[in-house]
């Protein structure tokens, strides 16, 4: 049940971020909950990293055609920046320095 609630909350956050970004030129972001995961186990960490990858895919939109050089460059930069920020947050979570928040913020420039 907690998993369903966390997934629903993450989905709503991603959709809300998408709607807000569509209305402004601000970069999109999403919040990925890990409140329902046991991060002391590899399966919990893998599940969180899958959720983050899904959120990065939503935040950075669809991968453009290889023929669209500028869009491809922007897409790759978005994914790279989103993952850099997420990995910094993951390191803090995994070390125990940031466990109480129970969410990772994903988006370009979120370091």
Domain assignment of residue 45, given as a range:
2-106
Is 63:104 a contact under the CB 8 Å cutoff?
A: no
Asked whether residue 18 is assigned to any structural domain, the reply reads yes
pLDDT in tens, 79-94: 999 999 999 999 988 8
Asked whether residue 111 is assigned to any structural domain, the reply reads no
Write down the pTM of the prediction.
0.67
Asked whether residue 22 is assigned to any structural domain, the reply reads yes
pLDDT in tens, 51-62: 999 999 999 988
pLDDT at 24: 44
> Is the pLDDT score of 26 beyond 70?
no
Asked whether residue 36 is assigned to any structural domain, the reply reads yes
N- to C-terminal Cα separation, the chain: 32
Q: Could you give the number of structural domains in the chain?
A: 1
Helix, strand and coil percent figures for the chain, each rounded to 5: 60, 5, 35
Asked whether residue 11 is assigned to any structural domain, the reply reads yes
Asked whether residue 73 is assigned to any structural domain, the reply reads yes
Distance of CA 84 to the CA centre of its chain: 11
């Amino acid at each position: 049940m907690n998993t369903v609630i966390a997934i629903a909350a993450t989905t709503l956050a991603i959709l809300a971020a998408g709607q807000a970004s569509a209305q402004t030129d601000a970069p999109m972001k999403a919040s990925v909950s890990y409140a329902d995961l046991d991060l002391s186990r590899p399966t919990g960490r893998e599940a969180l990293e899958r959720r983050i990858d899904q959120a990065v895919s939503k935040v950075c939109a669809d991968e453009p055609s290889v023929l669209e050089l500028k869009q491809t460059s922007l897409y790759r930069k978005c994914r790279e920046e989103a993952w850099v920020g997420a990995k910094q947050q993951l390191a803090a979570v995994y070390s125990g320095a940031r466990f109480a928040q129970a969410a990772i913020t994903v988006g370009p420039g979120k370091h």
